[in-house]
Structure 1
Amino acid sequence: MQAWGREQAILRGLFTQSPFGLAVVDPQLRFLMINPALERMDGVPARLRLGLPLRDTVPETAGPMAEARAREVLETGEPQVAVSHVDSPGASPHLPHVRSRSSFRLQDPAGRTLGMGQAVLDVTSYYRARRRLALINEAGVRIGSTLDLDRTVQELAEVLVPEVADFVAVDLSTAVIHGQEPDPVLTAGSTELLRGAQRSIREDLPEAVVPVGAAVTYSEMSPQYRCVATGRPVLDPVVDLSTPWLSQDPARSAKLKEFGIHSHMVVPLRARGITMGVATLVRWKYPETFDADDLLLVEELAARAAVCIDNARRFAREHRAALSLQRALLPKDLPTSTAVEVAYRYLPADTHAGVGGDWFDVLPLSGARVGLVVGDVVGHGMNAAATMGRLRTAVHTLADLDLPPDELLAHLDDLVVNLDTEEERAGRHESGVVGATCLYCVYDPVSRTAAFARAGHCPPAIAHADKAVEFLEIPAGPPLGLGGLPFECTEVPIPDRCVLAFYTDGLITASPDRDVEFGFARLAFALAHPDRPLEEICDTMERLLLPDHPRDDVAFLVARPRSLSEEDVATWSLTRELTVVGEARTLASEQLASWGLEELAFTTELIVSELVTNAIRHASGPVNLRLIRDVSLICEVSDGSHTSPHLRRARSNDEGGRGLFLVAQFAQRWGTRYTTDGKTIWAEQPLPVSLS
């Protein structure tokens, strides 16, 4: 008797006091009993449902499906446990009610089926918690997918709408937009932010009163100002349309009233102790007001987004600094030369890749020659730009020594090896050694030839006037930085009316499939018709070969070689006798008279006299004298010796030693260059103002 009473008490308590919803249906699936908990869950009195079929009283599922499952339980006796479904009629599309139903067959002691019991549990809170966790996980994947600031802000807005709010506006400080360090705290006055992104469930953005990128000013009475100033969120579960920060903006208040805004939240975007902006969320279609759980969720999402925004800001700042450094290190204006006409382009990589180390240069050399160089440093960022600057400076220094192209690259290779060693010793050695590729060319307008050497760089192209574009077969050589491997120099005759093209590999591999052969074919097509203006050729190369946002830096240089007229060059072979010095002076004076340069006769005779005398006294082999009329008057004396003269200051009682000193005083520039047959000492004088 006591056991029976205890069982009755348990059943009575389970049915009347348990938070579980309980229902009993007969074998015909008509409701026999419904407990108060299920009454409260469904919002329908039990008396209105007793006797009705199950299929007509289950609003959250399709009736036939519910009936089929119930009959399966009655027939098989196998309970169906934890079958979850969502209530549809009257439920919010944003926050549906979720129920877990367990169905089981009821039998008497003889095994006869009496009906079916159902236990119902409202698991909406668990469902919403899972949705919040899923949203946080999704945000971790979607927000910060790139280092682009605008894209990162937009990704935050896309995550919040429509899952959390009906509209969101993300406003950032001007300093963040410009990649600068924002102030930690606002102190006084009103704060001006810039609209970074906004998103709405409506295409016309009903809450937006400013476009993206425009300034947004919030007064000290606004929740946005309080949020930025304190670094703490502001939650207004119910919007009061009479609040001063809204009523002082009639257009904004009218929008709020028109669309029925009923809940409002402002959350700071804060990372590394700095508040960079605010995110404003509002609801009008979303039926429920913002609560503490919503605030925790949005704060978590905003914190993740803020770190990504700060990373994008820092990257943008570093990218601008590296780009500024690189542009400062690149030539601003290439020197003019009668030997070549040039045009060029430098296009930095897309911001995601970072600034690279591509460079180019045009270097005036002795004898009216010109050096053309293009190079590419491995890697991206500030280090690559700085390394590029060091290599470019080294090329300038080595070119001033008039080294042949292969020797110049050998010295440059030693420099890169030393830079790599320095980085390793300093503990700044990044993945991959410091390395670079380079192509160096010396063009001689007198002989109409060009000497090439390359260190792992793309071959130069030559666009002929009367045949197809040709990629010169210059020995590739190893990239700079490997050390110890030789480079080869190749001399190529340069035809009339052609165009030379030098470029970095980013131009060839810019296609989506990075097909090198296809890149060369497109370059050949762009270089066709070399009679066009060089700027037009550059525009064609940029348009045909490069996407809007190249993944790698691109530098290219196109040059139209010119030759010096035979009338501008005079050459004489001299015998190795001191009496020939006077003859050399006479020849030079007569040539200057034919050019109309009598003003330079005295200084030129002095220079010729000293250089020829030194060659006869101290050198060996044949002696040649050459005068070149270019933008300056060039005097060259060649001999078969590799011994270089040195400038020294003679003492007062010395009878000699003043020759090169006098040459240096009268010449604008002078120097020595070596050839396989000996050396050439040269001196340049500026032309008279009336002729220059």
Structure 2
Amino acid sequence: MIGEDHPDSWFAPEGLGDAVLDALFSQSPVGLHVYDRELRLVRVGRATRLMRAFPVEQLLGRTLPEILRSFDITDPAAVERAAHRVLETGEPELDMRIRFRERRATSDEVVSLVSAFRLRRADGTVLGLAAALTDITARVRAEAEVRLQNEAAARIGTTLDIFRTAAEFCEVVSPALADTVTVDVYDVVLGGRAPIADALDRDQSIRRVGYRSVAGPDQQGVPAVGEVDVYPPGTPYRTVLDTLAPKLIRRLRPDAPWLDPRRRRDARILDARTHSMLLVPIRARGVVLGLACFYRWREPSPFDHRHLRLAQQLTTHAGQCLDNARLYGRERSAARILSGGFAQAQASVVTAVELARTHLPAGTGGGWSDAISLSGCRVALVAGDTTSGTSRPAAMSELRAAIEALADLDLPPDDILQRLHDLASRPSTPPDTAAPGVGDGTAATCLCLVYDPVSRLCTVASAGHPSPVLVHPGGAVEPLDVAAGPPLGQGLAEYTLTERVLPEGSTLLICNAALLTAAGGRESLLSRLTDLFAEPQPSLQAACDTCADALAPEQPLRDAYLLLARTRTLDGSKTKAWTFPNTPESAGQARRKAVTQLAEWGLAQDTIDDTALVVSELVTNSVRYAKGPIQLRLIHDGTLACEVTDDSSASPHLRRALDTDENGRGLFITAHLTQRWGVRPSGRGKTLWAEQTLAAPAPDPAAET
């Protein structure tokens, strides 16, 4: 009781001491524990009774050592020593931080600040001690989250390499947030490309670029870093990527219907006794790059929505860094070959072919295939296989970006392979300054095929890659005999161009050596394809899947893929061509022919006027520098392409004419009136082309009413 004789009181009303004591135990937010001289718990405050982690009814009457043994607690011996020291010396113990959790498997860790004081009578008799517990769990968690975000900002993205960036992300997150963390990106991201929704619907191949586990640095993930895999339909992984909504699996049941112990990834999850997961899509600048997965199997408490928010914040930063690496990788690869060039056209639809792909991942990495839109509604189908070396993913990424840059120059397939061979033969940059790539001795095969839907001409060249197979409209199977040159970077670069006019509605089948081996060789592959295509298939993708299953009934030893391309033809209703003599009057004749044709196609007058000026300038350029006849071709299919072909091999260059110059403005005008233009070799001459994007037709008011 606080009285007049107490040194810290001054005219305290009678009963105030009892009132203060009652308030401390019944109203104070600070948890109060009172222990007797034997350190037996004899009383607790109301705040302690509200703590879920402290079962008061079970612990009242127990000694401090017994209470400490009821929890998982950091250094319980230190707590006991501090309590005895307070009893013996009378010196209080202030702000001792203690971390503890219940011994339930899913309990959360609680952090408290504990201050202990000795209790004694006025005559000095020691009665015990009182301990004040302040729960600072929320504050400690918030501070930890801020530190983790600051660490992520400082450590993630120190290089412009996708694999290193993913590794930095994993190092920051594990074990601070998750016991195991993985980063998977779409396979096309490694080529510097932005995944396109309709392409992802056909090909869901992903590649592991980052992994870390508290199990140790020697522990490898499934799949391992660099390996390719697919997310099966019906799994949370595929659902998150399809919906782009992050997912919290607070308690993962071993009997969850999507878990299949026959799959390597799922078997690892079950073996590790994973009990909680977070799945977060990786996005940046409107592009979906892949998926970050967080697992808990050693930390007993499950993830909650607070962890999900933190994981999203960290993944958002990592996504920006990964996208920076993607963009840099593409520009770097192109810059090693080109000192300039035109921007890659982003075609939303490939009008030349219908595509279907099937990927059979084995975890070895290196296999890839792409379809690249070219001028004149043409398409380049490229496929390759990185067969050796320790840096397959990096080599594959650089090759794919280089092929896109070269294809954009409208080079023929044999010339593309020649330049790729030169790139692969160059010494790589020092390993301490860049990621290993094409020039580090990695062997790679490559097939490059260009198809023109107007002429139905197919041109193809091979660098050690299996030749494509031609399936006729009636189902007959025929191998295309393409002379295979040496793999990229090996031997002398001698690549032969094979040309073939394809029947309308043909299907090209392209696969890598792994699928050819799984099928039992080329003759066995042709025999099986003959049987398969004898029966009609419901769709091209169904045919592709059926072929892959039949050719590789067992899991291939290396990554295998199959690409089917059903060719399409642009008939005379969408194309028109004329040949003019090399005379000054040809420019006017070509302009009048073009205006008439565009009017028949029903194009807008602004488009007709712009195209007439472009045709006039391009034909005039050919009249000035060529000697033989000049051909004009118009292609109307989604875009409007204007092509002028002559016998001059000299490529024109864009330049700015002075106000006093009488000539030199042709390409400058063309570049301003069209979305893109370029020059491509054509026989012994060249083709100068320009493309315009056509506006969607305005709705018919009469139809609306």
Calculate the TM-score normalised by the size of structure 2.
Answer: 0.51
Contact kept in structure 2, 1:405 and 1:453, CA below 8 Å: yes
Contact kept in structure 2, 1:508 and 1:520, CA below 8 Å: no
Deviation at 1:594, TM superposition (A): 1.2
Contact kept in structure 2, 1:343 and 1:534, CA below 8 Å: yes
Residue number in structure 2 paired with 1:579 = 585
Residue number in structure 1 paired with 2:190 = none
CA pair 188-553 structure 1, distance change in 2 beyond 3 A: farther
1: distance between equivalents of 2:108 and 2:352? 65
Deviation at 1:424, TM superposition (A): 12
CA pair 348-335 structure 1, distance change in 2 beyond 3 A: farther
Residue number in structure 2 paired with 1:366 = 375
Map Cα deviations across residues 8-32 of structure 1 (whole Å, 9 max, x no partner): xxxxxxxxxxxxxxxxxxxxxxxxx
Deviation at 1:503, TM superposition (A): 1.2
> Which one of 220, 233, 236 corresponds to residue 314 of structure 1?
220
Residue number in structure 1 paired with 2:507 = 499
CA pair 423-515 structure 1, distance change in 2 beyond 3 A: farther
Residue number in structure 2 paired with 1:357 = 366
Deviation at 1:585, TM superposition (A): 0.9
1: distance between equivalents of 2:619 and 2:521? 57
Residue number in structure 1 paired with 2:101 = 189
- What count of residue pairs does the alignment treat as equivalent? 396
Deviation at 1:567, TM superposition (A): 2.1
1:561 has 2:473 as partner: no
> Which one of 638, 642, 646 corresponds to residue 635 of structure 1?
642
CA pair 418-523 structure 1, distance change in 2 beyond 3 A: farther
Contact kept in structure 1, 2:357 and 2:563, CA below 8 Å: yes
Query: Any residues of structure 2 matched to 1:381-420 within 5 Å, and which?
Result: 383-418=391-426
CA pair 361-636 structure 1, distance change in 2 beyond 3 A: same
1: distance between equivalents of 2:437 and 2:620? 54
Deviation at 1:592, TM superposition (A): 0.7
1: distance between equivalents of 2:436 and 2:555? 30
Deviation at 1:540, TM superposition (A): 0.4
Contact kept in structure 2, 1:469 and 1:528, CA below 8 Å: no
CA pair 488-430 structure 1, distance change in 2 beyond 3 A: closer
Map Cα deviations across residues 512-566 of structure 1 (whole Å, 9 max, x no partner): xx65643454344444446641111122023223356432112221111011111
Residue number in structure 2 paired with 1:339 = 352
2: distance between equivalents of 1:484 and 1:191? 69
Residue number in structure 1 paired with 2:661 = 654
Residue number in structure 2 paired with 1:680 = 687
Deviation at 1:422, TM superposition (A): 6.2
- Please tell me the residue identity of whatever aligns with 2:349: T
Contact kept in structure 2, 1:409 and 1:487, CA below 8 Å: yes
CA pair 191-368 structure 1, distance change in 2 beyond 3 A: farther
CA pair 571-517 structure 1, distance change in 2 beyond 3 A: closer
In structure 2, runs of 5+ residues without a counterpart are 1-97, 110-174, 180-212, 230-281, 283-288, 292-322, 331-343, 700-705
2: distance between equivalents of 1:217 and 1:570? 73
Contact kept in structure 2, 1:571 and 1:627, CA below 8 Å: yes
Deviation at 1:467, TM superposition (A): 5.0
2: distance between equivalents of 1:334 and 1:592? 22
Deviation at 1:369, TM superposition (A): 1.0
- Please tell me the residue identity of whatever aligns with 1:596: G
Residue number in structure 2 paired with 1:550 = 556
Map Cα deviations across residues 146-191 of structure 1 (whole Å, 9 max, x no partner): xxxxxxxxxxxxxxxxxxxxxxxxxxxxxxxxxxxxxxxx964258
1: distance between equivalents of 2:581 and 2:226? 62
1: distance between equivalents of 2:486 and 2:380? 21
Residue number in structure 1 paired with 2:524 = 518
Map Cα deviations across residues 58-87 of structure 1 (whole Å, 9 max, x no partner): xxxxxxxxxxxxxxxxxxxxxxxxxxxxxx
Residue number in structure 2 paired with 1:588 = 594
1: distance between equivalents of 2:349 and 2:613? 29
1: distance between equivalents of 2:383 and 2:348? 15
CA pair 320-488 structure 1, distance change in 2 beyond 3 A: closer
Q: Report the structure number with the largest CA radius of gyration.
A: 1
> Which one of 368, 383, 388 corresponds to residue 379 of structure 1?
388
- Please tell me the residue identity of whatever aligns with 1:561: T
Contact kept in structure 1, 2:396 and 2:438, CA below 8 Å: no
Contact kept in structure 2, 1:360 and 1:375, CA below 8 Å: yes
Contact kept in structure 2, 1:419 and 1:434, CA below 8 Å: no
Residue number in structure 2 paired with 1:618 = 625
Q: Secondary structure at the match of 2:573?
A: helix
CA pair 490-191 structure 1, distance change in 2 beyond 3 A: farther
Q: Secondary structure at the match of 2:485?
A: coil
Q: Secondary structure at the match of 1:314?
A: coil
- Please tell me the residue identity of whatever aligns with 1:506: A
1:490 has 2:498 as partner: yes
- Please tell me the residue identity of whatever aligns with 1:314: Q
1:477 has 2:477 as partner: no
CA pair 451-531 structure 1, distance change in 2 beyond 3 A: farther
1:644 has 2:651 as partner: yes
User: Over the residues paired in the alignment, what is the CA RMSD in angstroms?
Assistant: 3.9
Q: Secondary structure at the match of 2:651?
A: coil
- Please tell me the residue identity of whatever aligns with 1:358: G
2: distance between equivalents of 1:362 and 1:427? 26
Q: Percent identity?
A: 41
Deviation at 1:391, TM superposition (A): 0.4
1: distance between equivalents of 2:439 and 2:634? 53
2: distance between equivalents of 1:596 and 1:630? 13
1: distance between equivalents of 2:642 and 2:487? 37
CA pair 671-526 structure 1, distance change in 2 beyond 3 A: same
Query: Any residues of structure 2 matched to 1:283-302 within 5 Å, and which?
Result: none
1:601 has 2:608 as partner: yes
Q: Secondary structure at the match of 1:684?
A: strand
Contact kept in structure 1, 2:394 and 2:437, CA below 8 Å: no
